[in-house]
Chains A and B, each alone.
Chain A
Amino acid sequence: MMASTYNAKDEDGHITVAGPGGGTLRSRKPENTAFKQQRLPAWQPILTAGTVLPAFFVIGLIFIPIGIGLYVTSNNIKEFEIDYTGVDMSSPCFNCSQNFSWNSTRPCTCSIPFYLDQPYESNVFMYYGLSNFYQNHRRYVKSRDDSQLNGDSEALTKPSKECEPYAFHDNKPIAPCGAIANSMFNDSLELFYNDPNGTKVQIHLMKTGIAWWTDKHVKFRNPGGNNPNLTVAFQGTTKPVNWRKPVYELDSDQENDGFINEDFIVWMRTAALPTFRKLYRIIQKKKDMVLTLPRGNYTLEVVYNYPVRSFEGRKRMILSTISWMGGKNPFLGIAYITVGSVCFFLGVVLLIIHHKYGNRNNSADISN
């Protein structure tokens, strides 16, 4: 009786295992079940050249058309990109980029002319792009308080310590707190079409619909519930250090103000890579016009607020159309074509191998 109790004695905290076969198991015939006898019915596939061959051809035949489709789609997408950082002396924004500080009161504006050699049909999406900006830096990524952004009144006045050192300013809680919010992109971009007849037509830029629906309606909430008066709701807080105006003055539209301002939400979704673009505005296709942006001369007017020279960053403005597969990205199509062709090629190689070696093996086996 002692023997069985000692069996289980562990030596040094291993998850050791005394092994089966204690007293009760003895002298009993093991059950004859398929599982216990390791005889469960099973499918026993083997990867031979013969069985893999069809798979390779099928993959090849499926991937190549997909790839071609993707490639063509990607090529049909029109994209225009312009760097407005103002590094060159000749650049119109050179001056703005030189005398910059976060707190300069007088806004610096510059306008960049460009020419679209292709007309843009359907909706056009306007992005701003930043380079060498490590929005994915660890301390940057975590420097936010999601409870505060979700309208939690307690978090509004007591921001999480993750926001440090952008949690308090002058002993007042910062709303929205943290480094991400503090460094929000604040250039404003406007687009003008230079009509061949000399008039400058401002193009209507839509500033809603640029953030995820769930972000705008669930994840980000203004404090104070449905209180329309955001100024009251944000009372007792202060604006982020680098901001010019408090969060409740981001937009005049009640539905796009405070934490649910879409520019803000877009910025708060940290980018994966140091070179990234973020959706800025949408140029919707007008019903009566066939072309959203006709071919011609345009001017980009920039209110230059955002400093990037300190980290040798670049700022870009991108205009792009979108297909069902997103923006211009030839990589996916090329990758599909390549993989498809490789599979097809391998299929041929395997076919040869199968003919050369396969029969030999099989005959050897049968003779066994």
Chain B
Amino acid sequence: ITRGHQNKLFLTLQNRTRIPPCVYIGHKEPPPGAEAYIPQRYPDNRIVSSKYTFWNFIPKNLFEQFRRIANFYFLVIFLVQLIIDTPTSPVTSGLPLFFVITVTAIKQGYEDWLRHKADCSINECPVDVVQQGKVVRTQSHKLRVGDVVMVREDETFPCDLILLSSSRHDGTCYVTTASLDGESSHKTYYAVPDTMAFRTEQEVDSLHATIECEQPQPDLYKFVGRINIYKDKEEPVARPLGAENLLLRGATLKNTQHIYGTVAVYTGMETKMALNYQSKSQKRSAVEKSMNAFLIVYLCILISKAVINTVLKYAWQCPNISFTYSLYCTFLDTFSLLQVIRAFTDFLAFMVLFNYIIPVSMYVTVEMQKFLGSYFITWDEEMFDEELGEGAQVNTSDLNEELGQVEYVFTDKTGTLTENNMEFIECCVDGNVYIPHSSGAEETDESCEHEDLFFRALCLCHTVQVKEEETVDGIKRGIHQGRPTSFYISSSPDEVALVEGMKRLGYTYLRLKDNHMEILNKDDEIERFELLHVLNFDSVRRRMSVIVKSSSGEYLLFCKGADSSIFPRVVSGKVEQVKARVEQNAVEGLRTLCVAYKRLSTSEYEEACHHLTEAKLALQDREQRLAQAYDIIERDFVLLGATAVEDRLQEKAADTIESLHKAGMKVWVLTGDKMETAAATCYASKLFRRSTQILELTKKRTEEQSLHDVLFELNRTVLRQPHGHTRTEQDSNFDCLDFGLIIDGATLSAVLKPNQEGAAHGNYREIFLEICRNCSAVLCCRMAPLQKAQIVKLIKASKEHPITLAIGDGANDVSMILEAHVGIGIMGKEGRQAARNSDYAIPKFKHLKKMLLVHGHYYYIRIAELVQYFFYKNVCFIFPQFLYQFFCGFSQQPLYDTAYLTLYNISFTSLPILLYSLVEQHVTIETLKREPSLYRDIAKNSLLRWPVFLYWTCLGVFDAVIFFFGAYFLFDNTTFTSNGQMFGNWTFGTLVFTVLVFTVTLKLALDTHHWTWINHFVIWGSLLFYVIFSLLWGGIIWPFLNYQRMYYVFMQMLSSGPAWLSIILLITVSLLPDVIKKVLCRAMCPTATERAQVGFALKWRLYKAAFFTPK
């Protein structure tokens, strides 16, 4: 590897640490000169996606696993058991921990092995490298920075390459980046102009050049570099390199025979692809947060239990020395260090005894529930889109339940609410309207200069590609026959719609060949324009321009863009007429664009050229410099006209929004579109109803009044509605006045600007939020992508901390998708970036309804029950043990046998709750879809709030008390059998445990509303398993055990009548309060969900009656 940095060239750089790396093509050093280079080391082209090697797997994996707080907790418990004399053997906590750790390690090891295999096959795939003028085949991982690589058609690039030359004469090549960002459209990449003429290996090998480029960074669409080409002792020629020159690893070459590329800086783990797959930041759900809070409560309970027992042991029990344990108390006569240590060991022993209250299995179950549960989303047939051939996709299963908690929905407009299937409707030139397929076109036949220019402008000012189905020569013929064998592709559907619209109006864009754009005009003549510069579209400028040279040698600049970005730059033209038309179209919900042009003199052109080249060559701040250059060039336009394109609403978009409203969610539309267009869409999609009172907070308004006044006035308007009234409004949205807010980007940034006029006016934010809170729908238009994220962040941080959901389809929505609690991507036409960065991806907006109202609702109630039930069953499990300490001299004697302690959470009670949390449906899917308002029942984490948690915990304590004292009074000083024989402490424990297992399982059965055959199988099966296990466990003298305490205990217990009777009695009593609570709550104050359940049952009964009576 030969690399270095050339001090001379980087004198302008301020920041020394960011000196870009430099590549010597073909490993040839630059001609001896001023450049002194320091060789730098760069990674080879080996891709390492695996995390572990054979040697470090065990230590590294263990370290990673024990970094988890829960695993660490169990490890500590296990170690304590190993070290001190504890009531339960280390096996009881070691076994589950070992199981969990092993399963995880095996899973991760297997995945890593797969990764190793994949890495291997990637690293060893053959690559053609040009060396000494010959093509040599080598393995991918042997590639070095600076190698010249030859890639053939349909091959994947082995690393990030700079395109030197292509087999196509114009030095372009087509590439699909489907595996990187999912966009299957072909993208054009350009060779460096100075090297694009190379045809053979020898020629390529003779190249003498260096490449400088920025440090590796993950943005797929950004690259800044420069190539210096040395020709025979001349001064090197510097050429800019941009993203259009960089072929990314993972992309595939299409429609091009072969290319020569040089390995750019980025090989191996530095390629953009590798950088992109680094793990994303993890979002955590609200349920997880409350689960952690509960855990802390339980940890406190655990510690206080241990403390209470330790204190009591020493304060109360030891003075009354009983001879059985006098042995262990004799040291306590004097206060000493030994005593402190002794007390501390006792404390630890109690901790170990009660540690099951925080079960390791809960984590496993929750993870499994999330993982397995998320399959129901991907399996859902209703969320499958035939057209796309894809169903919903789950990118993270951590947030399933968050889908049931959404309070704010932020949606993009284009492509999300609307189809993003653009259709050209009309255009207007100087106020004359042209509509394709109507006589309108002919009517205005008076050939005015502007009309010609307008159509040419639309034919030239775009980045549409023509995709041929036949070879290059085939196009012309195809189009001449009137059967276009070619179609247009572009990243922007608007452009396609415009170019196609032009075609219908008689001007056909044919192709771009040798930098000349060819247009077939109305008279079937081919016009050729030399394409000199493309000033690309960006969402900040909201316009794009091209500079072309017509065949007559004229320099023309065509620009099209949003009206707001064009009108201020127009100096002449029929502005008023066009503006009127644009506004009219916008009100109808059409997307409008304005077209303007400017003639450039040769000197002006050269100046523009100079600006652009300078900016493009810059290595630092290139973006900014380009923006400045564009700003200088794009001014003093002559307005030509405007276009209107229709974007139809997505199927059922209105229905979905209405459902979301009824479900109590607030829907905000965030769009970059014009206010009028966006408002029209909002009305069409029923976001705003006719009755909605629209509040405007726009630039237009703040120009008249100060922002301060406007805000306060709006606030007054909103608050004038009495508060009691807003309550009822929730139920009857229709007859009540509700508010809709429209705000634009400029005003928003003014509102959010911190402390502009001192502290007194600093809280615009609060007033703004207050207004928003009282509006059922908000429309934010003219938003920059970053502003979308800002809004989401603002709402997220407001004092209620609502759960937000962002949904969008384009690259401009990625920031808000990443910001929101739940990000949903729509697999849209504008590429896959949104879907790739989202947590869930769905094909269409309408699927959001099922996603939230059905899946989200189910996941939430399932996981809420899972969490509560887990804590409940462990209170039931451990609390009797706590009570038992009072009757065994605080000696940490476990109530249950070791096997029961270990298996309780692992097998006796694990499956029913796991299954419940996978398949429970408290109401049917249809009901949930029909009645979106049921979603309100679970809003604000209602099933995991502290009162509910307290109820479950109290229920657990009550049950535990029943189990323990029930058994206590039955056992108290009496015989249990008909042969007079006595039972011991293990029978006592087994009796409590049997009641416990049955009660806890039956409690879940009472909570189950959806009994499929699997539920029956698992619930009754796990009870049966408990019985069979106990029979087996007590039926044999187990040779490997050093104690036989359970021998025949279970059978002896079952052989006694009173034991049966008391088991039945205790189970009944334990379940009674919960049943009564359920019945009373349902009868006295039923929730909407409960009404829906009854409603369903009644209908079902009626249906059944109707079905059976005729017989």
* A contacts, CB < 8 Å to B: 1-3, 5-6, 8-17, 19-21, 25-27, 29-32, 36-49, 52, 59, 63, 66, 70, 123, 125, 127, 129, 132-142, 144-147, 150, 160, 162, 165, 179, 183, 209-212, 214-215, 218-219, 266, 269-279, 282, 307, 310-313, 320, 322-329, 331-332, 335-336, 339, 342-343, 346, 350, 353-354, 357-358, 361-362, 364-366, 368
B601: interface (CB < 8 Å): no
Contact B371 A6 (CB under 8 A): no
CB of A159, distance to nearest CB on chain B (Å): 11
Contact A10 B1075 (CB under 8 A): no
Known pairs A44-B1096, A357-B1084; A272 contacts B381 (CB<8 A): no
Q: Could you tell me if A312 and B1083 are in contact, using CB atoms closer than 8 angstroms?
A: no
A6 x B277 contact (CB < 8 A): yes
Within 8 Å by CB of B891, from A47, A139, A353, lies A139
Interface size, chain B (Cβ < 8 Å): 140
Could you write out 27 A-B pairs with CB less than 8 Å apart?
A2-B273, A9-B277, A10-B64, A13-B61, A13-B71, A16-B367, A20-B374, A26-B393, A29-B389, A30-B379, A31-B379, A44-B1011, A47-B1078, A63-B1065, A127-B975, A134-B889, A138-B87, A140-B891, A146-B1044, A272-B989, A273-B972, A310-B326, A322-B979, A327-B974, A329-B972, A342-B1072, A353-B1084
Does A15 lie within 8 Å of B1037, measured CB to CB? no
Per-position binary interface string of chain B over residues 953-979, scored 1 when its CB falls under 8 Å from any chain A CB and 0 otherwise: 000000000000010111111111111
Residues on B with beta carbons closer than 8 Å to the beta carbon of A5? 49, 114-115, 118-119
Q: A322-B980, A339-B1069 are in contact. Are A368 and B1095 (CB under 8 A)?
A: yes
- In chain B, residues 1029-1086, which have Cβ atoms closer than 8 Å to a Cβ of chain A? 1037, 1041-1045, 1047-1048, 1052, 1056-1058, 1061-1062, 1065, 1068-1069, 1072, 1075-1076, 1078-1080, 1082-1084, 1086
The distance in angstroms between the C-alpha atoms of A275 and B888, with both chains bound, is 11
CB distance from B893 to the nearest CB of A (A): 4
* B808 contacts chain A at the CB level, 8 A cutoff: no
Q: A318 CB to closest chain B CB, in angstroms?
A: 9
Q: Given that A139-B325, A141-B985 are contacting pairs, would A2 and B250 also be in contact in the complex, using a CB cutoff of 8 Å?
A: yes
Q: A322 and B978: CB pair below 8 A?
A: yes
A26 touches B390 (CB 8 A): yes
Determine if B1108 is an interface residue (Cβ-Cβ < 8 Å): no
Q: Which residues of A contact B970 (CB under 8 A)?
A: 329, 331-332
| B984 contacts A272, C-beta separation under 8 Å | yes
Given the interface pairs A2-B179, A30-B384, the reply to whether A326 lies near B1056 with Cβ below 8 Å is: yes
Beyond A14-B68, A46-B1090, list 20 extra A-B contacts (CB 8 Å).
Answer: A2-B274, A13-B68, A16-B398, A17-B371, A17-B397, A29-B389, A38-B921, A40-B919, A40-B1012, A41-B1012, A44-B1009, A138-B891, A141-B985, A146-B1041, A209-B979, A322-B980, A326-B1058, A327-B975, A329-B970, A335-B1065
Instruction: List, in ascending order, chain A residues with CB within 8 A of B384's CB.
Output: 29-30
Cα A3 to Cα B122 with chains together (Å): 12
Give the most central of B61, B921, B1044: most A CB within 10 Å: B1044
Q: Assess whether A12 is in contact with B68, with CB atoms less than 8 Å apart.
A: yes
B788-819 toward A: CB 8 Å interface, digit per residue (1/0)?
00000000000000000000000000000000
> Is B108 within 8 A of A133, CB to CB?
no
Task: Report B-chain residues with C-beta under 8 Å of the C-beta of A16.
Answer: 367, 398
Closest to A180 in B: B324
A137-B891 contact given A44-B1011, A45-B1009, A271-B984, CB 8 Å threshold: yes
Which of B983, B1082, B1095 is close to A49, meaning CB atoms less than 8 Å apart? B1082
Q: Are the CB atoms of B982 and A8 closer together than 8 Å?
A: no
Residues of A within 8 A of B1037 (CB): 150, 218-219
A353: which B residues are within 8 A, CB to CB? 1079-1080, 1083-1084
Contact B325 A269 (CB under 8 A): no
Interface 1/0s, chain B 321-333, versus A by CB < 8 A? Answer: 1111111100000
**Residues of B that sit less than 8 Å from A by CB:** 47, 49, 51, 61, 64-68, 71, 87, 100, 103-104, 107-108, 111, 114-115, 118-119, 122, 179-180, 250, 273-274, 277, 279, 282, 320-328, 363-364, 367-368, 370-371, 374-376, 378-381, 384, 389-391, 393-398, 858, 887-889, 891-894, 919, 921, 924-925, 966, 968-985, 987-989, 1006, 1009-1015, 1037, 1041-1045, 1047-1048, 1052, 1056-1058, 1061-1062, 1065, 1068-1069, 1072, 1075-1076, 1078-1080, 1082-1084, 1086, 1090-1091, 1093-1098, 1100
* Minimal beta-carbon separation of B556 from chain A (angstroms): 43
Q: In the complex the two chains form, is A365's CB within 8 Å of B394's CB? A: no
Q: Which residue of B lies closest to A23 (CB)?
A: B179
With A138-B891, A160-B1042, A368-B1095 as contacts: A15 and B118 at CB distance below 8 Å? no
Give chain A nearest CB distance to B398 CB in angstroms: 8
Docked CA distance A28–B966 (Å): 57
- Taking CB atoms, residues of chain B closer than 8 Å to A325 are 978, 1057-1058, 1061
How many Å lie between the Cα of A196 and that of B390 in the bound state? 100
**Contact assessment for A214 and B1048 in the assembled complex, using a CB-CB cutoff below 8 Å:** yes
Interfacial chain A residues near B115, Cβ < 8 Å: 5, 8-9
Contact A137-B379, Cβ < 8 Å, known A311-B323, A312-B320? no
Question: Nearest CB to that of B1093 among chain A residues?
Answer: A46
- A329→B966 CA distance, assembly (Å): 13
- Is there an interface contact between B381 and A134, defined as CB atoms closer than 8 Å? no
- Contact assessment for A278 and B888 in the assembled complex, using a CB-CB cutoff below 8 Å: no
Closest CB-CB distance, A285 to chain B, in whole Å?
13
Question: Are A212's CB and B325's CB within 8 A?
Answer: no
Contacting pair A361 B979 (CB below 8 A)? no
- Please tell me which one of the listed residues A3, A125, A328 contacts residue B179 in the complex, with CB atoms under 8 A apart: A3
Closest to B61 in A: A13
Minimal Cβ-Cβ distance residue in B for A329:
B974
Q: In the assembled complex, how far is the CB of residue B322 from the closest CB belonging to chain A, in whole angstroms?
A: 4
Set B367, B893, B968, B988: member contacting A15, Cβ < 8 A: B367
Query: Contacts A19-B396, A162-B1042, A361-B1091: A47 and B1082 contacting too (C-beta < 8 A)?
Result: yes
A36→B699 CA distance, assembly (Å): 51
Q: Which residue of A lies closest to B353 (CB)?
A: A138
B982–A9 CB distance below 8 A: no
- Inside 8 A of A354's CB, which chain B residues have their CB? 1083
Residues of B near A357 (CB, < 8 A) are 1083-1084
CA–CA, A298 to B1087, complex, Å? Answer: 70
Q: How far is the CB of B343 from chain A (nearest CB, A)?
A: 16
Are A11 and B282 in contact, with the CB atoms below 8 A?
A: yes
- In the complex, are the beta carbons of B892 and A138 less than 8 A apart? yes
Is B363 in contact with A15, judged by CB distance below 8 angstroms? yes
The list of the 4 closest CB pairs from A to B, nearest first, reads A327-B975, A272-B988, A17-B371, A13-B64
Contact of A38 among B114, B322, B919 (CB under 8 A): B919
Taking a contact as CB atoms under 8 Å apart, the answer to whether A137 and B980 are in contact is no
Shortest CB-to-CB span from A77 to chain B, Å, is 9
* B390 A277 Cβ-Cβ under 8 A: no
Q: Assuming the A-B contacts A3-B179, A19-B394, A273-B971, are A336 and B1095 also in contact, with contact meaning beta carbons closer than 8 angstroms in the complex? A: no
Q: In the complex where A331-B970, A339-B1069 touch, is A30 in contact with B381 (Cβ < 8 A)?
A: yes
Residues of A near B397 (CB, < 8 A) are 17, 19-20
Q: How far is the CA of A300 from the CA of B376 in the complex (A)?
A: 75
Say yes or no: A272-B1093 contact (C-beta < 8 A), given A212-B1048, A320-B975.
no
A276 & B973 in contact (Cβ 8 Å cutoff): yes
Q: Given A270-B985, A361-B1091, decide whether A277 and B973 contact each other with a Cβ distance below 8 A.
A: yes
Closest approach, in angstroms, between the C-beta of B128 and any C-beta of chain A? 20
- The chain B residue sitting closest to A48, CB to CB, is B1082
B1013 proximity list for chain A (CB < 8 A): 40
Say which residue of B108, B277, B1041, B1043 sits within 8 Å of A2 (CB atoms).
B277
- Closest A-chain residue to B366, C-beta based? A15
CA gap between A267 and B1068 in the complex, in Å: 34
Chain B, residue nearest A141 (CB):
B893
**Which residues from chain B contact A183 at a C-beta distance below 8 Å?**
323-324
Q: What residues of chain A lie closer than 8 Å to B894, measured between beta carbons? A: 138
Distance in angstroms from A252 CB to nearest chain B CB is: 23
Query: How long is the Cα–Cα vector from A54 to B254 in the complex, in angstroms?
Result: 75
Contact in complex: B378, A21 (CB < 8 Å): yes
